[in-house]
């Protein structure tokens, strides 16, 4: 049985679709949920209806025989900027979705969709349409403020989402396909959830949904998967975003190989605190994965007042040994010290990656390519950029625990598979201590 959405009698939804069968079906569903519903199959009258009826939400078909739905969206937002619009398409793609969101649409869903998925979308849009109550500014804190903030963040934090929908388009590093992300505000206790654009299967960013850690972190559920989530997850961890719907194709765009563009997007739309709290996951004992005495791959986490990462990277020349230290006390520090660090690859491994079906989207501007003697395609942003990128990845993978992690992490020669091993050890720690591993 579907959960009721409460009394919505004072809220009007306009359904715009040229198929009468779809309008009739949606009208019945939404009236059962308590909405006042108007429907129209005439594209020419839509703007007039919006001006007369002032609907809270418009469900708008992308493909209308008389008029392009994207053009209709543009006209609706011109005459009634406050009206939320959800685009519906039977054969859309990420480029259409990106265009719609940039023009002001609140969401983009594909037919066929389930009733649960439709009502979930409407609920997120209407509940998230309340005015933002936090600015996007992040003033650099003083040393005393950072220490106080770190201590407070180790106990209880407010849940957080973004102020409004945002989009980024690009290319998948491993698939090579054109892709993008649509970031949408989500209600309290929703979590970080991925959803492939062509499906209504939700993939929460949770440990049980990690399906691959070879050269990237992949989440899968119900036959659907989303690849290379770690850079976006790292930015969300840094900004404290705990509730978010992320619509995408099968891979998150690589952009320039770092998390910087994700951070800039979040800064641009801003974040807001929500009327709910969560407790970060913190340890009261040292947990070790691997054997530090062997000086090979190992990870450890021990009690601390903030998330601190100390990473040692060991590669053959020309990379050599690099070390990076970072304490996550503010989004500004993260944007300055970690986010710009780009993913990297060895020219000697390109044939191997190609045989594995990976790195098909590797270009000269979205990763650091390392030859036998030097970096061949760019200037480094930091002397230890390779180690800093490993810190970036680790912060992203840790967020798959479903809540912020607090502790001093020491990593030596580790990658995504080692990060996954630490997450599993943290889950066992939670079970042993009788703690709820999930944030709610």
> Mean pLDDT across the stretch 240-255?
92
Confidence (pLDDT) at 90: 72
Q: 134-143 long-range CB contacts below 8 Å, 24 or more apart? A: 134/163, 134/270, 134/271, 134/272, 134/273, 135/270, 136/163, 136/267, 136/268, 136/269, 136/270, 136/271, 138/267, 138/330, 138/331, 138/332, 139/332, 140/330, 140/332, 140/333, 141/329, 141/330, 141/332
Q: Matching CATH topology for 12-128 and 281-433?
A: no
CATH T-level fold of 152-278: Ribosomal Protein S5; domain 2 (3.30.230)
What H or E segment, with its residue span, contains residue 204? strand 203-204
Specify whether the CB–CB gap between 252 and 227 falls below 8 A. yes
Of residues 340, 346, 344, the one with CA closest to residue 367:
344
Specify whether the CB–CB gap between 247 and 185 falls below 8 A. no
Q: Cβ of 364: how many Cβ atoms within 10 Å?
A: 10
Which pLDDT band, with edges at 50, 70 and 90, does 113 fall under?
Answer: confident
pLDDT, averaged across the chain: 86
Rg (CA), the chain: 23
Of residues 153, 176, 109, 157, the one with CA closest to residue 359:
176
Which pLDDT band, with edges at 50, 70 and 90, does 197 fall under?
Answer: confident
CATH T-level fold of 281-433: lpxc deacetylase, domain 1 (3.30.1700)
* Cα-based distances in Å from 336 to 328, 339, 376: 11, 7, 24
- Strands (E) in 62-175, as ranges, are 84-89, 107-110, 157-162, 166-171
Specify whether the CB–CB gap between 389 and 254 falls below 8 A. no
For the ranges 126-130, 146-150, 248-252, the lowest mean pLDDT is seen at 146-150
Specify whether the CB–CB gap between 206 and 402 falls below 8 A. yes
For the ranges 162-171, 282-291, 414-423, the lowest mean pLDDT is seen at 162-171
Report the half-sphere exposure of 346 (CA within 13 A, side-chain side).
Answer: 12
By annotation, the residues acting in catalysis are 416
> Mean pLDDT across the stretch 117-137?
66
Give the dihedral of Cα atoms 171, 175, 179, 181; nearest 10 deg.
-100
Specify whether the CB–CB gap between 330 and 146 falls below 8 A. yes
* Cα-based distances in Å from 358 to 200, 355, 369: 26, 7, 15
CATH architecture of residue range(s) 12-128? 3-Layer(aba) Sandwich (3.40)
Max avg pLDDT among 176-190, 404-418, 425-439: 404-418
Q: Cβ of 32: how many Cβ atoms within 10 Å?
A: 12
Query: What are the extents of the domains in the chain?
Result: 12-128, 152-278, 281-433
What H or E segment, with its residue span, contains residue 96? helix 94-102
Which pLDDT band, with edges at 50, 70 and 90, does 7 fall under?
Answer: low
In the chain, the percentage of residues whose pLDDT exceeds 90 is 61
What H or E segment, with its residue span, contains residue 394? helix 385-398
Give exposure, 302-325, as e/b (b: 16+ Cβ within 10 Å): eebbbbbbbbbbeeeeebeebebe
Confidence (pLDDT) at 139: 44
Tokens of residue 118, six digits = 């439709």
Q: Which has more confidence, 18 or 294?
A: 18
* Cα-based distances in Å from 106 to 31, 87, 129, 167: 21, 8, 9, 11
- CA dist 336 and 3 (Å) reads 44
272: pLDDT strictly greater than 80: yes
Specify whether the CB–CB gap between 14 and 50 falls below 8 A. yes
For the ranges 33-47, 169-183, 352-366, 395-409, the lowest mean pLDDT is seen at 352-366
> Mean pLDDT across the stretch 140-147?
50
For the ranges 1-15, 118-132, 199-213, 372-386, the lowest mean pLDDT is seen at 1-15
């Amino acid at each position: 049985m579907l959960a009721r959405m409460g009394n919505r009698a004072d809220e009007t939804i306009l359904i715009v679709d040229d198929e009468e069968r779809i309008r009739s079906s949606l009208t019945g569903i939404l009236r059962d949920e308590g909405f006042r519903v108007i429907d129209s199959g005439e594209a020419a009258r839509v703007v007039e209806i919006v001006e007369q009826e002032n609907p809270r939400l418009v469900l708008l078909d992308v493909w209308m025989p008389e008029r392009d739905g994207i053009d209709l969206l543009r006209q609706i937002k011109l005459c009634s900027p406050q009206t939320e619009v959800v685009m519906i398409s039977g054969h859309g793609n990420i480029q259409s979705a990106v265009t719609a969101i940039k023009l002001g649409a609140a969401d983009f869903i594909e037919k066929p969709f389930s009733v649960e998925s439709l009502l979930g979308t409407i609920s997120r849009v209407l509940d998230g349409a309340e005015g933002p109550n936090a600015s996007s500014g992040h003033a650099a804190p003083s040393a005393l403020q950072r220490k106080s903030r770190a201590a407070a963040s180790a106990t209880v934090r407010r849940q957080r989402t973004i102020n409004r929908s945002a989009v980024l388009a690009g290319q998948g590093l491993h698939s090579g396909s054109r892709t993008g992300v649509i970031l949408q505000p989500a209600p309290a206790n929703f979590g970080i959830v991925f959803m492939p654009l062509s499906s209504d299967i939700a993939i929460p960013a949770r440990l049980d949904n990690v399906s691959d850690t070879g050269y990237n972190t992949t989440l899968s559920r119900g036959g659907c998967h989303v690849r290379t989530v770690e850079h976006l997850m790292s930015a969300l961890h840094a900004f404290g975003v705990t509730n978010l719907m992320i619509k995408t194709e099968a891979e998150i765009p690589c952009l320039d190989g770092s998390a910087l563009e994700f951070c800039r997007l979040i800064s641009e739309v801003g974040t807001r605190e929500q009327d709910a709290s969560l407790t970060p996951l913190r340890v009261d004992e040292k947990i070790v994965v691997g054997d530090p005495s062997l000086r090979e791959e190992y990870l450890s986490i021990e009690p601390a007042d903030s998330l601190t990462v100390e990473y040692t990277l060991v590669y053959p020349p020309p990379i050599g040994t690099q070390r990076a230290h970072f304490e996550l006390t503010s989004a500004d520090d993260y944007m300055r010290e970690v986010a710009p660090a780009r993913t990297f690859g060895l020219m000697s491994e390109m044939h191997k990656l190609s045989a594995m079906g990976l790195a098909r989207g590797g270009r000269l501007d979205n990763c650091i390519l390392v030859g036998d003697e030097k970096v061949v395609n760019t200037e480094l942003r930091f002397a230890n950029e390779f180690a800093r990128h490993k810190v970036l990845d680790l912060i992203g993978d840790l967020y798959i625990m479903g809540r912020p992690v607090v502790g001093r992490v020491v990593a030596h020669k580790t990658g995504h598979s080692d990060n996954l091993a630490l997450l599993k050890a943290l889950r066992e720690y939670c079970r042993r201590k009788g703690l709820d591993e999930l944030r709610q």
